[in-house]
Amino acid sequence: MHTDRSEPAEVNHYRPEISELITGSYQRLIGQSMLACPDETETGRMLYLAPFVVLAHDTAADPVFFYANQMAQKLFEMTWDEMVRMPSRKSAEPVLRADRQKFLDRVAVHGFIDNYSGIRVSRSGRRFFIQRATVWNLINLHGVCRGQAAAFNSWSAV
């Protein structure tokens, strides 16, 4: 799954299969729309250019990001290509990775958790505290889990 790691852009219609997985799973699990998007053809563009962070990782034994919108790239100080090749565990400091994994295991069992907070680290080593994040399982239309996603719009320097 997610072997195509191409960056969302106008030429690929902002990867509608990925935006549907992310926003559709959010809608089905949480019961509300992630975006105010009157036209489904605009979902991918709106998600990629959203004024909040959206990240998603796959179901590998050591999950790797397969989606990071522009706000996520800016916050983590990485390009698209750098983000979608990085194991998601590396977004947390090594000493915090065990706590992060316990949290993700809870999400896997419960479907989603909102109001998550935690410390993350950018490529340059800049630490920041994310607040009020929602993390949810990415369940496709066939009921298959394809990973987990996170969205948040509140963070501060540590």
Give the closest residue to 133 by CA, choosing from 106, 152, 120: 152
pLDDT-above-70 percentage for the chain: 97
What is the per-residue pLDDT across 69-85, written as a single tens digit (0 to 9) for each? 999 999 999 999 999 99
Residue 1: pLDDT over 80: no
3-state secondary structure of 1: coil
Please report the DSSP string for 34-87 in residue order: SS--SSGGGHHHHHHT-SSEEEEE--SSS-BEEEE-HHHHHHHT--HHHHTTSB
Amino acid at residue number 53: V
Ramachandran bin of 128, using left for φ above 0, alpha for ψ from -120 to 50, beta for the remaining angles: beta
Four-point Cα dihedral 61, 59, 67, 128, nearest 10: -60
Amino acid at residue number 42: E
The whole model's pTM is what?
0.92
Residue 2: pLDDT over 70: no
The confidence score (pLDDT) of residue 23 equals 96
Query: What is the Cα–Cα distance from 112 to 47, expressed in whole angstroms?
Result: 19
